[in-house]
Structure 1
């Protein structure tokens, strides 16, 4: 995210009043979402909603996908269970996909991106191989998650941020905290 980007801090849906904003952090697996979300939650006191963990804890998983070596998310069940918390606000949602979340839930969407070499190294260190590794690297190359976000939410609330170096991680935290501060001043 460039410092010159003007971020709109108004609620995404004006008739919904929340005590604090809801933030979506999304991107290809391995771009650094969980690290950023954990640090943001620690810094801001906002609630970190790690979707993969919530889905597992609340039995929002369907059959197991042998190709990608992971369970399939029951999106409807998950969203039903999250509705109350999302209406209250103050959440940082962390997930590698975004198109199924209702637009009304989020005040801002940050799409983390990284270079292919960094992503490849991060994913192989997690044990990704074969089709799962290839598809995730291609997803980043073709900016699939960024396009999903741009197609699913108002353009003015979607922001791409680079996530390669520790310095960028710290800069991203500072920029998002500034956005949060502006949201409170505006709302």
Structure 2
């Protein structure tokens, strides 16, 4: 069932990917590499992550699994395995200032990509 769902997501998005879209998702190993020019992995300090998830009502195993995933850099490692190393970038996501800086970096990257590819 899980594989079928992933295949369906890819099939639904396939035609839209040529339009220059941003995908925000917590796992991506099923997305084709050809879709992406760059991948940003947001990283959070474990204490910040724990507090955020706790405020969202996460408890027990779900809370532990998410924090452990961050500790072991699971998403980053999956990105490095799924895509070319040079397109994978980590960005800190601890504070509102980090979010603002990340947005600026991503906008700058998009602007540069558009200049280079148009």
Instruction: Identify the TM-score tier after normalising by the shorter chain.
Output: over 0.9
Q: Helix, strand or coil for the counterpart of 1:110? A: strand
State the Cα deviation string for residues 79-124 of structure 1 (Å, max 9, x = none).
11110001x2321101101111100011100000000111001111
Who is 1:74 aligned against?
A: 5
Q: Give the length in aligned residue pairs.
A: 117
In structure 2, distance between residues paired with 1:154 and 1:138: 25
When normalised by structure 1's length, the TM-score is 0.60
When normalised by structure 2's length, the TM-score is 0.94
**More contact order relative to length (CA 8 Å, sep ≥ 6):** 1
Structure 1: tracts of 5 or more residues without a match: 1-61, 64-71
1:149-168 → structure 2 map (5 Å cutoff): 149-168=79-98
How large is the Cα RMSD of the aligned pairs? Answer: 1.5
Which structure is higher in strand share?
1
State the Cα deviation string for residues 16-71 of structure 1 (Å, max 9, x = none).
xxxxxxxxxxxxxxxxxxxxxxxxxxxxxxxxxxxxxxxxxxxxxx58xxxxxxxx
Structure 2: tracts of 5 or more residues without a match: none
